[in-house]
Structures are given as structure tokens and as C-alpha cells.
Amino acid sequence: MTTSEDEAKRNAARRELAGSTVGDVMSRNPTTIDPDAALETAAAVMSEREIRHLPVVDDHGRLIGMLSDRDVRGVVLAPVLGQYLSPAARKALEAVSLALCDVRVRDAMTWDHVAIEPGAPLAHAAALMFEGGFGSLPVVEGGVLVGIVTERDVLKAFALLLPAIRGSDPDTYFW
């Protein structure tokens, strides 16, 4: 049974969340990479920094694409999976494959990225991420990258509105 006090708390949380923007929760100055960097370098940066998404920017800081861990895995695993293809398909794969050391970020990145502005409602970012299956969205102002918002950022913002299971920090709810 819902009490009027519970309903009042839920309504207050909805109002607070409705006022949240992408800029409130995004990570500023994210790690970026140049499109001409070796894919091997990008994979090392992602592993070292424990991130799954790298915005790809030009010399002026303008966002030109995104590189995800899925993009990297697709390039790395293609030759391995080739052994399970028919001889004709394997030959076609070999014809278009590059040596891994020659693969550049621009060869694997997603060019037709979806971006969002820092003033956009957080709920809009969450909907875009959910509908598009994106783990993150680059945040741009005037075409220039200013941040990145990830699934974790969105979930943490929502979790802050929930009563803590343990403690008040969403990062320590379960441990």
C-alpha cells in the first residue's frame, strides 16, 4: 500500500530528475584519440584507463566519431572468425583485411555517431542511449567535444534518487 508520504517522495524525486541535465552528470575532458592513431594504441589506452568508449577528435577538438570496445573487438576477432567461413568467404575476408598493426582508429571507429549537448535533459540522454543501444554519448557544444555521458553516469544519477541499501554512496551500495 502506498502512503501519501511515499507518493510525495516519488513526486519530489521525479521533479529533481526532470531538472537534471547531461552537463550535471557528464565526465568533463574525456580521454580522446586521434583518427590516425594505431588501433593497437587505442586498445591499450582503453585497457589502461578502464574505459569502453573513446571520442575521436580532430586537431581542433571537433568530434568526428566514436571508438568503442565493440569496434576494437570486431576488428581483432574478424581474422579469428575467418577460419570458420567457407573458403570463398575466407578469401574475400583476407582480401579486405589489413594487418592489425596497420589498422588505424579511423578504420574501425563509428563515423555516424549520435551526440548530445550539455543542456539537454538527462532523461533525453537516457532515452537516446536506450533506444540506440549506446553505452555512451559524446557531449558537444558547437561541434567541440566538452564531455561524455555513460550508462554508468545515468544510472548513478538515478540511483542518487533512490534510498540507499547501504550507505549514501551509490558506488558502495552492494559492498
pLDDT at 151 over 80: yes
**Dihedral (Cα; 131, 74, 80, 97), 10-degree rounding:** 140
Mean pLDDT of the chain: 81
pLDDT at 1 over 50: no
80 — pLDDT class (breaks 50, 70, 90): low
- 3-state secondary structure string, 49-107? HCCCEEEEECCCCEEEEEEEHHHHHHHHHHHHHHCCCCHHHHHHHHHHCCCHHHCEHHH
Q: Report the pLDDT averaged over residues 35-58.
A: 93
pLDDT at 146 over 60: yes
Q: Specify the pLDDT at position 103.
A: 85
67: β partners = 54
> Residue 20, Cβ neighbours under 10 Å: how many?
19
CA distance 173 to 153: 15
Domains of the chain: 16-163 (3.10.580.10)
Place of cell 587505442: 42
pLDDT at 165 over 50: no
